[in-house]
Amino acid sequence: MLRLVEPLLLVLLSSTHDQLAQQVQFLRAENRMLRERLSERVRLTPGEKRKLVRLGAPLGAALKEIISVVSFATFRRWVLRGQPVQPRKQTGRPRKSEGMRHLVIRLATENPSWGYTRIVGELLKLGVPNISRTTIKAILKEHGLEPAPHRDEPTWNEFVKIHAKTLWACDFFTREVLTWKGWRTCTVLFFIHVHTRRVIVCKPTLHPDQAWTAKQVRVFATQAAKQGFYKPSLLIQDRDTRFGQDFRERLRERGCRSVRLPICTPQLNIYAERWIKSCRRECLDHFVAFGERHLHYLIKQYVAHYLRERPHQGLDNALLPVKPRKPNVRSGEHSPRAGPDPSHVPRIVCKQRLGGVLKHYERKAA
């Protein structure tokens, strides 16, 4: 091999610049012809790649006109692969503290049905500001936690919100209870104020006729007055036959006008329907109710949790006794509350109802 290289070097050393250019052009053409006759592409060993990089790197862009064994782009990748990688500059917002990230993961894992916005509300209630729904989503995604199921509300809801301050809604829902006679269907009637989300629930019954429904108007009026609603003025209801003429007459006697919704339009009563879903999913679906009294106790515990301990996404994640706050940007970031340093995560305790089915979190007293 050395005998073949030495004559070639002697020829190159004794040649002029023009002759060298012609010889290189000849060698490139010869190399191209030889490669076209190969059945497979040329595969180089790591040692051969390092040798080509060492010899070709000093030529820079001029190598583009010479190289033929591989493309110039491939050769550039070989060169860059051997250089030290420069660390990328960190961009975006600072990473949340490990304590705060641990708290987010705890809320998500202990409450699988909570969505991103529900977790934001619980954190805001605990005095942890400056954390958005997007941040919650990124933290959960990083730890492999899937989002909770959610349902988009119909667009008619926007119209209802305009009249929410004067609007009440009512509806029935049923629950199977176990009695000494076997399984029976128990009916519950409730009323919800659209603006404040306050709920009034009547005692369940196994005999939900029109006479029983009419008697619940007095319960509704009395409880509404206790909660600060002196005279409810407007109530929407569906066309259930249990809402008889006597029910509407008793409402009218108390200055409340009843508005009957069209047939088969549950989307027009979305706040009542949503409350039923929350009550079932968060409480009733976890229990077997033994009779009317047991069912009433379960609902009563859930209503206490709902009214005093649970943040409400429709009220900007505020508790019901608290005046709803307004977000300061459209992206969902909330104005910071006056409180401790957000980088400091206090010790949090979990409060429970019904054996841990209903949970909420509070700061531990010093």
How much is the pLDDT for 157? 57
CATH number of the domain that 235 lies in?
3.30.420.10
Does residue 198 share a domain with residue 281? yes
Q: Tell which of 48, 81, 114 closes a domain.
A: 81
Does residue 173 share a domain with residue 283? yes
Angle between helices 210-226 and 245-253 (to 10 degrees): 30
Answer whether residue 212 is part of any domain: yes
Q: What is the mean pLDDT of residues 79-85?
A: 64
Answer whether residue 87 is part of any domain: no
Residue 102 CB neighbour total at 10 angstroms: 13
The number of domains in the chain is 2
How much is the pLDDT for 324? 38
Taking a C-beta distance cutoff of 8 angstroms, is the pair 295, 204 a contact? yes
Residue 364 CB neighbour total at 10 angstroms: 9
Does residue 192 share a domain with residue 70? no
Does residue 181 share a domain with residue 59? no
Answer whether residue 24 is part of any domain: yes
Q: What is the mean pLDDT of residues 55-78?
A: 78
- Contacts of 328 by beta carbon, 8 Å cutoff, 6+ apart: 334, 335
Joined together, the tokens standing for residue 344 give 């400091």
Q: DSSP string of 37-95? A: T-SS-----HHHHHHHHHHHGGGGGGGGGT--SS-HHHHHHHHHHTSPPPPPPP-SSPP
Does residue 174 share a domain with residue 43? no
Of 151, 152, 147, 153, nearest in space to 114 by CA: 147
Q: Give me the phi and psi of 178, to 5 degrees please.
A: -100, 120
Q: What is the residue range of 285's domain?
A: 156-308
Answer whether residue 193 is part of any domain: yes
**Higher-confidence position of 312 and 291:** 291
Task: Read off the pLDDT of residues 273-300 as tens digits, 9 standing for 90 and up.
Answer: 999 999 999 999 999 999 999 999 999 9
Does residue 162 share a domain with residue 302? yes
Taking a C-beta distance cutoff of 8 angstroms, is the pair 159, 167 a contact? no
> Which residues face 190 on adjacent strands?
171, 201
Whole-number Å distance between alpha carbons of 116 and 166? 30
* Average pLDDT over the chain, rounded to an integer: 79
Q: Tell which of 308, 323, 353 closes a domain.
A: 308
Does residue 169 share a domain with residue 73? no
Task: Read off the pLDDT of residues 209-258 as tens digits, 9 standing for 90 and up.
Answer: 999 999 999 999 998 888 887 678 889 899 999 999 999 999 999 888 88
Torsion of CA 299, 304, 309, 312, to 10 degrees: 60
Answer whether residue 150 is part of any domain: no
Does residue 161 share a domain with residue 299? yes
Does residue 187 share a domain with residue 300? yes
Above 80 in pLDDT, residue 89?
no
Question: H-helix or E-strand containing 175?
Answer: strand 167-179
Q: With bands split at pLDDT 50, 70 and 90, how would you rate the model's confidence at 190?
A: very high
How many residues are present in the chain? 366
Answer whether residue 127 is part of any domain: no
Taking a C-beta distance cutoff of 8 angstroms, is the pair 168, 234 a contact? yes
- Tell the residue number behind the tokens 């957000």, with chain if given: 342
Of 46, 61, 127, nearest in space to 311 by CA: 127
Answer whether residue 357 is part of any domain: no
Does residue 298 share a domain with residue 209? yes
Say which range, 95-104, 340-349, 355-364, has the weakest mean pLDDT.
Answer: 340-349
Of 125, 129, 93, nearest in space to 334 by CA: 129
Does residue 297 share a domain with residue 196? yes
% of the chain exceeding 70 in pLDDT: 78
Does residue 164 share a domain with residue 64? no
Q: Tell which of 308, 341, 361 closes a domain.
A: 308
Answer whether residue 232 is part of any domain: yes
